[in-house]
Protein backbone atom coordinates (compact mmCIF):
# COMPACT_ATOMS: atom_id res chain seq x y z
CA UNK A 1 0.00 0.00 0.00
CA UNK A 2 1.37 3.38 -1.04
CA UNK A 3 0.14 6.17 1.26
CA UNK A 4 0.74 9.76 0.23
CA UNK A 5 0.34 12.93 2.26
CA UNK A 6 0.12 16.29 0.51
CA UNK A 7 -0.76 19.80 1.62
CA UNK A 8 -2.27 20.96 -1.67
CA UNK A 9 -2.93 24.55 -0.55
CA UNK A 10 -6.47 24.60 -2.06
CA UNK A 11 -7.70 21.48 -3.79
CA UNK A 12 -9.68 23.39 -6.40
CA UNK A 13 -6.77 25.66 -7.26
CA UNK A 14 -4.49 22.62 -7.50
CA UNK A 15 -6.88 20.23 -9.28
CA UNK A 16 -5.04 20.52 -12.61
CA UNK A 17 -1.91 19.37 -10.76
CA UNK A 18 -3.59 16.76 -8.55
CA UNK A 19 -5.44 14.77 -11.20
CA UNK A 20 -2.41 14.11 -13.48
CA UNK A 21 -0.35 13.30 -10.39
CA UNK A 22 -2.90 10.70 -9.28
CA UNK A 23 -2.92 9.18 -12.76
CA UNK A 24 0.88 9.02 -12.93
CA UNK A 25 1.82 8.01 -9.40
CA UNK A 26 -1.23 5.85 -8.59
CA UNK A 27 -1.01 6.01 -4.78
CA UNK A 28 -3.45 3.73 -2.98
CA UNK A 29 -4.31 6.27 -0.28
CA UNK A 30 -3.88 10.05 -0.36
CA UNK A 31 -4.20 12.31 2.68
CA UNK A 32 -4.79 15.93 1.67
CA UNK A 33 -4.46 19.02 3.83
CA UNK A 34 -5.56 22.62 3.30
CA UNK A 35 -8.32 21.66 0.88
CA UNK A 36 -9.88 25.07 1.69
CA UNK A 37 -13.44 24.26 0.71
CA UNK A 38 -16.63 22.96 2.25
CA UNK A 39 -17.52 19.37 1.43
CA UNK A 40 -20.16 20.42 -1.11
CA UNK A 41 -17.53 22.32 -3.12
CA UNK A 42 -14.93 19.54 -3.11
CA UNK A 43 -14.27 18.18 -6.63
CA UNK A 44 -15.67 14.78 -5.68
CA UNK A 45 -16.80 13.76 -9.15
CA UNK A 46 -13.39 14.38 -10.72
CA UNK A 47 -11.61 12.50 -7.93
CA UNK A 48 -14.03 9.58 -8.11
CA UNK A 49 -13.61 9.46 -11.89
CA UNK A 50 -9.89 9.06 -11.22
CA UNK A 51 -10.66 5.88 -9.28
CA UNK A 52 -10.75 7.10 -5.68
CA UNK A 53 -13.31 6.99 -2.93
CA UNK A 54 -13.44 10.13 -0.81
CA UNK A 55 -13.86 10.98 2.88
CA UNK A 56 -14.07 14.70 3.64
CA UNK A 57 -13.83 17.16 6.49
CA UNK A 58 -13.96 20.54 4.81
CA UNK A 59 -14.07 24.19 5.80
CA UNK A 60 -14.66 27.32 3.79
CA UNK A 61 -11.51 29.26 2.83
CA UNK A 62 -9.27 27.72 5.51
CA UNK A 63 -7.99 24.32 6.65
CA UNK A 64 -9.84 21.24 5.38
CA UNK A 65 -8.60 17.64 5.22
CA UNK A 66 -9.54 14.65 3.08
CA UNK A 67 -8.69 11.00 2.55
CA UNK A 68 -8.78 9.52 -0.95
CA UNK A 69 -8.53 5.78 -1.42
CA UNK A 70 -8.71 3.16 -4.14
CA UNK A 71 -9.98 0.72 -1.50
CA UNK A 72 -13.08 1.05 0.70
CA UNK A 73 -12.83 3.72 3.40
CA UNK A 74 -14.26 2.59 6.73
CA UNK A 75 -14.70 3.89 10.29
CA UNK A 76 -14.32 7.56 9.40
CA UNK A 77 -13.73 9.96 12.30
CA UNK A 78 -13.42 13.74 12.24
CA UNK A 79 -11.66 15.91 14.78
CA UNK A 80 -10.12 14.95 18.11
CA UNK A 81 -13.32 15.07 20.15
CA UNK A 82 -12.67 18.42 21.87
CA UNK A 83 -14.91 21.30 20.77
CA UNK A 84 -12.37 24.11 21.09
CA UNK A 85 -9.98 22.24 18.79
CA UNK A 86 -12.56 20.83 16.42
CA UNK A 87 -14.03 24.15 15.30
CA UNK A 88 -11.38 23.97 12.57
CA UNK A 89 -11.33 21.07 10.09
CA UNK A 90 -7.86 19.70 10.77
CA UNK A 91 -8.17 15.98 11.48
CA UNK A 92 -9.79 13.06 9.66
CA UNK A 93 -9.19 9.38 10.30
CA UNK A 94 -10.26 6.15 8.62
CA UNK A 95 -9.38 2.49 8.18
CA UNK A 96 -8.29 1.27 4.75
CA UNK A 97 -7.85 -2.49 4.62
CA UNK A 98 -5.63 -3.28 7.63
CA UNK A 99 -4.17 0.22 8.06
CA UNK A 100 -5.53 2.89 10.39
CA UNK A 101 -4.87 6.26 8.75
CA UNK A 102 -5.01 9.65 10.45
CA UNK A 103 -4.63 12.75 8.28
CA UNK A 104 -3.69 15.90 10.22
CA UNK A 105 -3.14 19.56 9.48
CA UNK A 106 -1.42 21.00 12.54
CA UNK A 107 -1.90 24.61 13.60
CA UNK A 108 0.84 26.89 12.22
CA UNK A 109 1.21 29.06 15.32
CA UNK A 110 2.16 32.31 13.53
CA UNK A 111 5.28 33.06 15.61
CA UNK A 112 6.83 32.13 18.93
CA UNK A 113 5.05 33.99 21.72
CA UNK A 114 1.85 34.58 19.74
CA UNK A 115 -1.40 33.29 21.33
CA UNK A 116 -1.73 30.89 18.41
CA UNK A 117 1.66 29.45 19.32
CA UNK A 118 0.40 28.43 22.76
CA UNK A 119 -2.77 27.11 21.13
CA UNK A 120 -0.63 25.05 18.75
CA UNK A 121 1.18 23.36 21.63
CA UNK A 122 -2.12 22.63 23.35
CA UNK A 123 -3.55 21.30 20.08
CA UNK A 124 -0.62 18.93 19.65
CA UNK A 125 -1.16 17.69 23.19
CA UNK A 126 -4.81 16.99 22.39
CA UNK A 127 -3.76 15.13 19.24
CA UNK A 128 -1.40 12.98 21.30
CA UNK A 129 -4.18 12.10 23.75
CA UNK A 130 -6.51 11.27 20.85
CA UNK A 131 -3.93 8.93 19.30
CA UNK A 132 -3.36 7.18 22.64
CA UNK A 133 -7.11 6.70 23.04
CA UNK A 134 -8.05 5.67 19.51
CA UNK A 135 -5.04 4.21 17.70
CA UNK A 136 -3.58 1.02 19.23
CA UNK A 137 0.12 0.70 18.50
CA UNK A 138 -0.20 -3.04 17.91
CA UNK A 139 -2.14 -2.17 14.73
CA UNK A 140 -0.74 -0.75 11.50
CA UNK A 141 -1.13 2.99 12.00
CA UNK A 142 -0.07 5.89 9.79
CA UNK A 143 -0.45 9.39 11.21
CA UNK A 144 0.51 11.69 8.39
CA UNK A 145 0.12 15.24 7.22
CA UNK A 146 1.44 18.76 7.56
CA UNK A 147 2.70 18.99 11.14
CA UNK A 148 4.17 22.49 10.79
CA UNK A 149 7.13 21.32 12.90
CA UNK A 150 10.63 20.09 12.06
CA UNK A 151 12.08 17.21 14.08
CA UNK A 152 15.56 18.73 14.35
CA UNK A 153 18.17 20.73 12.45
CA UNK A 154 18.57 18.00 9.82
CA UNK A 155 15.12 19.09 8.62
CA UNK A 156 16.21 22.70 8.07
CA UNK A 157 18.23 24.13 5.17
CA UNK A 158 19.71 26.88 7.37
CA UNK A 159 19.51 25.90 11.05
CA UNK A 160 21.07 29.10 12.34
CA UNK A 161 18.61 31.29 10.46
CA UNK A 162 15.69 29.27 11.84
CA UNK A 163 17.03 28.76 15.36
CA UNK A 164 14.19 29.20 17.87
CA UNK A 165 11.72 30.41 15.26
CA UNK A 166 8.26 29.08 14.50
CA UNK A 167 8.30 25.56 13.00
CA UNK A 168 11.72 24.97 14.61
CA UNK A 169 11.38 26.06 18.24
CA UNK A 170 12.22 23.77 21.14
CA UNK A 171 8.68 23.47 22.57
CA UNK A 172 7.23 22.60 19.16
CA UNK A 173 9.87 19.94 18.59
CA UNK A 174 9.25 18.52 22.05
CA UNK A 175 5.51 18.31 21.29
CA UNK A 176 6.32 16.39 18.11
CA UNK A 177 8.66 14.09 20.05
CA UNK A 178 5.90 13.56 22.62
CA UNK A 179 3.64 12.37 19.79
CA UNK A 180 6.23 9.75 18.97
CA UNK A 181 6.31 8.59 22.59
CA UNK A 182 2.92 7.02 21.86
CA UNK A 183 4.90 4.43 19.88
CA UNK A 184 4.91 6.21 16.54
CA UNK A 185 8.16 6.54 14.58
CA UNK A 186 9.38 9.03 12.01
CA UNK A 187 8.96 7.03 8.82
CA UNK A 188 11.34 8.98 6.59
CA UNK A 189 14.46 9.42 8.73
CA UNK A 190 15.58 5.75 8.69
CA UNK A 191 15.72 5.94 4.90
CA UNK A 192 17.43 9.36 4.84
CA UNK A 193 19.55 9.53 8.00
CA UNK A 194 21.74 12.29 6.56
CA UNK A 195 18.83 14.77 6.50
CA UNK A 196 18.59 17.58 3.97
CA UNK A 197 15.28 16.24 2.65
CA UNK A 198 12.60 18.93 2.63
CA UNK A 199 8.86 19.03 1.98
CA UNK A 200 8.00 22.75 2.12
CA UNK A 201 9.58 25.76 0.42
CA UNK A 202 8.47 29.35 1.01
CA UNK A 203 6.75 30.90 -2.02
CA UNK A 204 7.81 34.40 -1.03
CA UNK A 205 11.51 33.64 -0.89
CA UNK A 206 11.41 31.29 -3.89
CA UNK A 207 13.02 28.69 -1.68
CA UNK A 208 12.48 25.80 -4.09
CA UNK A 209 13.77 27.60 -7.16
CA UNK A 210 16.78 29.15 -5.46
CA UNK A 211 18.75 26.24 -4.12
CA UNK A 212 16.39 23.89 -2.29
CA UNK A 213 16.00 26.17 0.73
CA UNK A 214 13.25 24.28 2.51
CA UNK A 215 12.06 22.61 5.69
CA UNK A 216 10.71 19.13 6.38
CA UNK A 217 7.39 19.72 8.12
CA UNK A 218 5.27 17.02 6.41
CA UNK A 219 5.67 13.64 8.07
CA UNK A 220 4.60 10.01 8.10
CA UNK A 221 4.53 8.78 11.70
CA UNK A 222 4.20 5.00 11.72
CA UNK A 223 3.38 2.44 14.40
CA UNK A 224 5.94 -0.34 14.95
CA UNK A 225 4.07 -2.86 12.77
CA UNK A 226 3.64 -0.30 10.00
CA UNK A 227 7.30 0.67 10.24
CA UNK A 228 8.33 -2.98 10.10
CA UNK A 229 6.70 -3.37 6.68
CA UNK A 230 7.69 0.05 5.34
CA UNK A 231 10.08 -0.27 2.40
CA UNK A 232 10.58 3.45 1.83
CA UNK A 233 9.39 7.01 2.36
CA UNK A 234 10.13 9.47 -0.42
CA UNK A 235 9.39 13.11 -1.27
CA UNK A 236 8.06 13.74 -4.78
CA UNK A 237 10.08 16.85 -5.59
CA UNK A 238 8.81 17.01 -9.17
CA UNK A 239 5.31 17.75 -7.91
CA UNK A 240 6.65 20.97 -6.32
CA UNK A 241 8.03 22.21 -9.64
CA UNK A 242 6.20 23.56 -12.65
CA UNK A 243 3.22 25.88 -13.02
CA UNK A 244 1.16 26.89 -9.97
CA UNK A 245 2.42 24.23 -7.57
CA UNK A 246 1.54 23.94 -3.92
CA UNK A 247 4.29 25.16 -1.60
CA UNK A 248 4.47 21.57 -0.28
CA UNK A 249 5.56 18.38 -2.03
CA UNK A 250 3.82 15.03 -1.56
CA UNK A 251 5.46 12.50 0.75
CA UNK A 252 4.82 8.83 -0.08
CA UNK A 253 5.25 5.88 2.27
CA UNK A 254 5.22 2.34 0.86
CA UNK A 255 4.00 -0.46 3.13
CA UNK A 256 4.72 -3.93 1.76
Distance between CA 129 and CA 179 in Å, rounded? 9
The reply to whether 198 belongs to the active site is: no
Distance between CA 63 and CA 72 in Å, rounded? 25
b/e 67-86 (16+ beta carbons within 10 angstroms → b)? bbbbeebeeebbbbeeeebe
Kindly name the residue from 28, 52, 117, 146 that is annotated as catalytic. Answer: 146
Residue pair 87/108 in contact (Cβ under 8 Å)? The answer is no
DSSP secondary structure letters along 18-84? HHHHHHHH--SEEEEE---S-GGGS-HHHHHHTT-EEEEE--SSS--EEEEESSPEEEEEES-S-HH
Beta-carbon contacts of residue 71 (< 8 Å; ≥ 6 apart): 28, 29, 53, 96, 97
Distance between CA 22 and CA 24 in Å, rounded? 6
DSSP secondary structure letters along 191-238? G-TT----SB--TTTTTTTTT---B--EEEEE-HHHHHTEEEEEE-GG
Kindly name the residue from 105, 117, 157, 198 that is annotated as catalytic. Answer: 105
The reply to whether 146 belongs to the active site is: yes
Catalytic residue annotation: 105, 146
Amino acid sequence: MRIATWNVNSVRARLERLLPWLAERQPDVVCLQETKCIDEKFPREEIEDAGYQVALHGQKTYNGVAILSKKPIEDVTRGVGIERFDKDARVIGATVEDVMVLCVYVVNGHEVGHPRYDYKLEWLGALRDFIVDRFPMDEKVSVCGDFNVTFDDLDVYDPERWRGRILCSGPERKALTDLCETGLQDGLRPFHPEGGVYTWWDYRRRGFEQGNRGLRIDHHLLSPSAMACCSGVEVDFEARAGVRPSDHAPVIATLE
